[in-house]
Chains A and B, each alone.
Chain A
Amino acid sequence: MLFGTAAVAVPIIIHLLNRRKFKKVTWAAMKFIKLSVEQNQRRMQLEDLLLLLLRCALLALLAFALARPALKTSGTDVLGQAKVTAVVVLDNSYSMDLRGLDKKSAFQKARAAAKEAINAMPSGSYASVLLASDLVQEKDSIISPTRALSQAHEVIDRAKVSHHATDLYPAVDRAVEILKGRAALRKEIYIITDGQASGWQQQGEIRKLIDENRDDIRVYILRVGEAKPPANYAITGLDVASGLTPVNHPLRFDVTVANHAEQAATNMIVGLYLDDGKSPVDKVMIPSVKAGATRTVPLYARFAKVGYHSVRASFDQPERFDSLEADNQNLLVVNAVREVRVLLVDGDTEARDPREHESYFLKLALAPVADHYVKVDTTTPAGFARNVLKSYAAVALANVERLTPSQISALKTFLREGGGVLVYPGDRVDVDFYNKELFEKHGLLPSPWGVAVGDATQDEIYTLFQSSGYEHPITAPWNNRDFGQLDDVRTFRHLKLEKQPSISVVKEAGPVKVVLRYAATRDAEDTLGAPAIMERDWGKGRVFQFSSTADTAWSDFAVFAPSVVPVLYRILGNVQAQGDTGLNLRVGDSFLHPLAVDQPNQQGRVIVPGLAQTNRISAEVLRDRPVLQFKDTHRMGLYEFQLDGEEGTTLFAVQPDQRESDLHKVNDSELPSAATIINWEANTDLKEQVKKARVGAEYWLMILLVVLAMVALETYLAQKFSQSK
Chain B
Amino acid sequence: MTAVSPDASRIWTAARGPVLIGVIILFTAVVITLLRGGGEGGSLDPRSYQPEGSHAVAALLERNGVRVEPTDDVSSVEGATLFVTHPALIDPARLADLSRRAAATVLLAPPTGKSPLKVETRDPGCPLAAKAGPATAGGFVYEGEQRCYDSTLVRTGTVTTIGFSSIFTNRDLDEEGNAALALALLGQYDRLVWYLPSAADRSQQKSFTDLIPDGWKFGAWQLGIAAVVIALWRARRLGRVVTEPLPVVVRAAETVEGRARLYRRSHASGHAASVLRQASRDRLAGLLGLPAGEDPSAEIARRTSRSAAGVRTLLYDDDAPVDDRGLVALADELDALENEVRKG
Bound together: no
Q: A residues near B, CB below 8 A?
A: none
